[in-house]
Chains A and B, each alone.
Chain A
Amino acid sequence: MTSVNNAGDNEEIHTKETQLLMGNRAVVQGLLEAKVGLTTAYPGTPSTEIQMQLYKLSNKGQLYFEFSVNEKVALEIAAASALSGVRSAVIMKHVGLNVASDPLMALAYFGVVGGMVLVVVDDPGCLSSQNEQDSRFWGKFSHLPILEPSTSQEVKDTIVKAFELSERYNSVFIVRLTNYTSLNTSEVEKNVVEEKMNKDGEFFKDVRYIVPARYVYHKELHGKIKAIRADKEFLGFNELRYSDSKSNKLIVTQGSIFPMVEYTRNFGKLDIAILKVSAIHPLSEEQLCEIIKNYKYIYFVEELESYLEDEISAIIAKNNLNVKIIGKEKLRIPQENKITPDVLLEPFTLIAADPDDENTFRYEEIPQLPFEPVIGREDLLLPRTLPRLCDGCSHRGAFYSIKRATSVSTHILPSDIGCYALGQVSPIEVGDFWLCMGASIGTAIGFSLTNNKPVIAIIGDGTFFHAGIPPLIDAVLYNHNITVAILNNRLTAMTGGQPTPSSNEDSSQNQTPVDIEELVKAIGVKWVKSVRVEDVKENTKLVREAMDFEGPSVMIFNGECVVELYKHDFDLGEPPYVDQEICNHCGICFIEFDCPSIVKVEGRIEIKEETCSACNICVNVCPQEAIIPRKK
């Protein structure tokens, strides 16, 4: 719909509207305005809000969206859809693209028919990820173009334009956000779109999609990227700001941190031009040389890797431009962690200084800000506030049983991606190893082959479906002696409660839930038990039994995510209480079980009623039976 209204009719006027939108929500708005018919994703912060919004829209019937079982499957579905001429989008976090890269690299060769955009959200600072890889490098690797917007408005506009370009060049376009652009909220002018999106397409068979001579398409791909490199609209994403500045210095930065670079420039009252590079790949030598040749000093300000610095330095060298390059290292901008204005303050004092003075960049020792600034006296060092499992978290019951049946020195417990990773840290300490989605089972096999110790893999239901099934098949095939504890809360809790293949509440999506127990048995695991998390004493015995079993064994711990329970009912029942006559202050509930609602008040163990979620697992944990439940 456009802002033009057919004069004289009674229909509601579809107009432009301004609204505060988070970058992630702006992605969805862009997808709607681009009339995208099919969308897929696997949950992952910081991209979650995109997916949740699409999920809601699909429940209302506006477009097709699914939480696919993993990113690879999500990308394959979107690829086939785009090859059938339907505009399609796939959304994932940065590490998801590792999983999806296999189909992506080959899809790049023959391209798409309907527009296809891959939205990938990076997590500099690893706020909710296992690493902070820089997705800009996928561009060169896959020969796919990458765009990187700065603000919510730009996010929306970029998505819309990316679909046009995608269809112009029959190429998948990658839109890269970071946790800065995706989680910032700012003003967006949007077109109200209420129509239902169409996903009817047609796949035209062609020899290019089958086996022969793929190198031909590799050549075609090189030609495509060359053409995109010269596309005026594509290059229009790059912008020279403050070009009226009198200085002979130029700051080169990337779209995703540009607003912070601009803020710091103004904060420090520097009259220097900034080149904002949002068309990350391919870079145009012609465009860049045309701008850079007007300056004498080029400063590179980037988040994470020195991508632009390396690429543009090569361009400068190739074209014999007479400029001095001052890179990240000289400016002392770290190659890791998030960029913030605080991080940029010192580099900007270096940018302001005389670059030809030898002393400007001479520092014996790089002074570092403490990770968490502490004010005041040295004896008042602030303890860190670490995230913990929620009050009433069902994982706590599973962890307690596993902990009772194992010990730190005699067992190896590889863990996986999810809330339950929080169990790795003290005082719970269930989880010794953490790699990537599904890796708990694969690494458990490796540890069991090389260590004379029982090994238990800790994995959630979502992660098990995502990438845990192939290694379990391996364990059955070679009779590897491992135990797998599947913590089944039937949703992806860490990212806010998206459905998994074992969810059964979601009727709106017409899902057929997959039964984990049946699945595991069908794979051929001989020792399988499905239990409730509350039965901690019985479960402790079963964990020991599972470890004693020769060959792979699987124990499924069933429980509910307490955050999900609170979504339906904010009163979960009467908390239990501690019978002070019986309690002998052994500290098991308090320390080993580690419930935040169990507190020590003047030597007495008490249950904090205002935060207790009445999960009542502690009732079974107390060896003295001093914790007494109340009825709901």
Chain B
Amino acid sequence: MSQNIDNEKPINIAIIGLGGQGVITLTKLIANVSFGLGKKVCYNEIHGLSQRGGSVQSLLRINEAENPVFAAKDADYIIGLEKLETLRYLYLAKGSTAKVIITNKYLIRPTSDLGYEQFPDEDAIMLEIKKHSSELYLFDALGFEENTKTKFKPLNVAVFSAITTFQELGLPTNKAENLVNEYLGRNMIIRQINKKAFKDGSKWLRKLE
């Protein structure tokens, strides 16, 4: 019945954010660490207008070779780089067991600022996310960014670092770190910043009760 040979259960991950936040890069990082360990992995990306601040989601499945797109209520992990978008796609989470990781980041000024649409306040969004998550973690993006004293702040690399602390995902920290160094190394300055972001990243993650 199952498509994978190892008979290991697929781990389904949804990564949610806005254009420009690095959703696709984060997906590639997770996928390539798993692939490097000899696991089956596949992912998809939804793009088009996403570069321009639109909603971006990518779906990633470890221990599955062919179909990255899974159904509602089948995600083991939801990784949200932006709160509003995370709430929008929270219906993907496996109700009682999914782990939800969110950041307290608000990147794009919603058009509703201009009075065209009603916009819920941040606390209300947070409350809803809490209500619908069985296990919720907060990545303190504001803290991380304040601590990063450069204009370029690689939130996705820091979140990647934090995610490697989930043992069940099977992402060894050293392999992950190597990949960050290899994969994101075109510009020397950016390379240094990414390296540091990975080193510090995991300390900004905490579980919310």
Task: Identify the A interface with B (CB < 8 A).
Answer: 20, 45-46, 123, 127-128, 150-151, 180, 183-187, 259-260, 262-264, 266-267, 269, 340-342, 344-345, 372-377, 380-390, 419, 422, 426-427, 496, 563, 570-571, 590-591, 596, 599-600, 608, 610
Q: Which of the residues A123, A128, A259, A388 comes within 8 Å of B53, measured between beta carbons?
A: A388
* Interface residues of B, Cβ cutoff 8 Å to A: 1-3, 18-19, 31-32, 35, 40-55, 65-72, 74, 84-85, 87-88, 90-91, 108-114, 116-120, 124-125, 128, 131-132, 151-153, 187, 190
22 residue pairs from A and B, CB less than 8 Å apart:
A45-B47, A185-B31, A186-B66, A187-B40, A187-B65, A259-B66, A263-B67, A342-B71, A376-B131, A380-B128, A381-B118, A382-B87, A382-B120, A383-B119, A387-B50, A387-B54, A426-B116, A427-B111, A427-B114, A599-B109, A608-B109, A610-B153
Enumerate chain B residues within 8 angstroms of A376, measured Cβ to Cβ. Answer: 128, 131-132
Contacts of B31 in A (CB 8 A): 20, 185
List chain B residues, Cβ under 8 A from A427. 111, 114, 116
Q: Which of chain B's residues have a CB closer than 8 A to the CB of A384?
A: 117
Please indicate the chain B residues that have their CB under 8 angstroms from the CB of A180 in the complex.
Answer: 44, 69
The answer to whether B111 touches A383, judged by C-beta atoms less than 8 angstroms apart, is yes
Residues of A with C-beta under 8 A to B49: 127-128, 387, 422
Residues of A within 8 A of B116 (CB): 426-427
Contact between A186 and B111 (Cβ–Cβ < 8 Å)?
Answer: no
Specify which chain B residues have a CB less than 8 angstroms from the CB of A385 in the assembled complex. Answer: 18, 53-55, 84-85, 88, 108, 110
**Chain B neighbourhood of A373, CB < 8 A:** 72, 88, 91
Most chain B CB within 10 A, of A185, A262, A341, A376, is at A185
Please name all residues of chain B whose beta carbon is closer than 8 Å to the beta carbon of A260 when the two chains form the complex: 67, 69
Are B46 and A375 closer than 8 Å at their CB atoms?
no
Contact A387:B52 (CB < 8 A) given known A20-B35, A596-B108: yes
Report if A264-B71 is in contact (Cβ < 8 Å); known contacts: A187-B35, A382-B87: yes
Determine if A596 and B87 form an interchain contact, defined as CB atoms under 8 angstroms apart: no
Would A186 and B42 count as touching, CB distance under 8 A? yes
Question: Which residues in A have their C-beta under 8 angstroms from that of B119?
Answer: 383
Q: In the complex, what distance in Å separates the CA atom of A4 from the CA atom of B46?
A: 39
Chain A nearest Cβ from B172, distance in angstroms: 18
Instruction: Please count the residue pairs between chain A and chain B whose beta carbons lie under 8 angstroms apart in the complex.
Output: 159
- Contact B67 A259, beta carbon cutoff 8 Å: yes
Within 8 Å CB of A185, what residues of B?
31, 42-45, 68
**Bound Cα distance from A392 to B180, whole angstroms:** 29
Complex Cα spacing A347 to B92, Å: 19
Docked pose: A470 CA to B3 CA in angstroms: 53
A262, B71: Cα distance in complex, Å: 12
Report whether A596 and B66 are in contact in the complex, using a CB–CB cutoff of 8 Å: no
Determine how close the nearest CB of chain A comes to the CB of B167; give it in whole angstroms: 23
B71 close to A341 (CB less than 8 A): yes
Question: Shortest beta-carbon distance, A252 to chain B, in Å?
Answer: 18
Contact B110 A383 (CB under 8 A): yes
Most chain B CB within a 10 A radius of its CB, from A151, A373, A383, A389: A383
User: How near does chain B come to A567, taking the closest CB pair, in angstroms?
Assistant: 11
Task: Say whether B45 contacts A183, CB under 8 Å.
Answer: yes
Query: A45 contacts B190, CB within 8 Å?
Result: no
Q: Which residues of B contact A372 (CB under 8 A)?
A: 88
Q: Which chain B residue has the least Cβ–Cβ distance from A181? A: B44
Nearest residue (CB) in A for B45 is: A183
Contact A266 B132 (CB under 8 A): no
CA distance A599 to B110 in the complex (A): 11
Closest to B43 in A: A185
Whether A591 contacts B114 in the complex (CB less than 8 A), given A20-B31, A186-B65, A341-B70, comes out as yes
Q: Do the beta carbons of B44 and A184 come within 8 Å of each other?
A: yes
Q: Select A375's contact among B32, B70, B87, beta carbons within 8 Å.
A: B87
CA distance A521 to B69 in the complex (A): 52
Chain B residues, Cβ within 8 Å of A590: 114
State how many angstroms separate the Cβ of B128 from the closest Cβ of chain A.
5
Contact of B46 among A183, A342, A386 (CB under 8 A): A183
Report chain B residues within 8 Å CB of A263: 67, 69-71
User: 3 nearest interchain CB pairs?
Assistant: A128-B48, A259-B67, A387-B54
Given contacts A186-B66, A259-B66, A596-B53, contact A375 B43 (CB under 8 A): no
> By the criterion CB–CB under 8 Å, are B48 and A388 in contact?
no
- Shortest distance in angstroms between A416's beta carbon and chain B's nearest beta carbon? 16
Tell me, in angstroms, the Cα distance from A88 to B1 when the chains sit together: 41
Residues in chain B near residue A599, CB distance under 8 A: 109, 113
* Bound Cα distance from A254 to B131, whole angstroms: 40
18 more A-B contacts (CB under 8 A) besides A259-B66, A385-B18, A596-B109?
Answer: A20-B31, A20-B41, A45-B48, A127-B49, A183-B44, A187-B35, A260-B69, A340-B71, A375-B128, A383-B117, A385-B55, A385-B84, A387-B53, A419-B52, A427-B116, A570-B190, A596-B108, A608-B109
Closest A residue to B31 by beta carbon equals A20
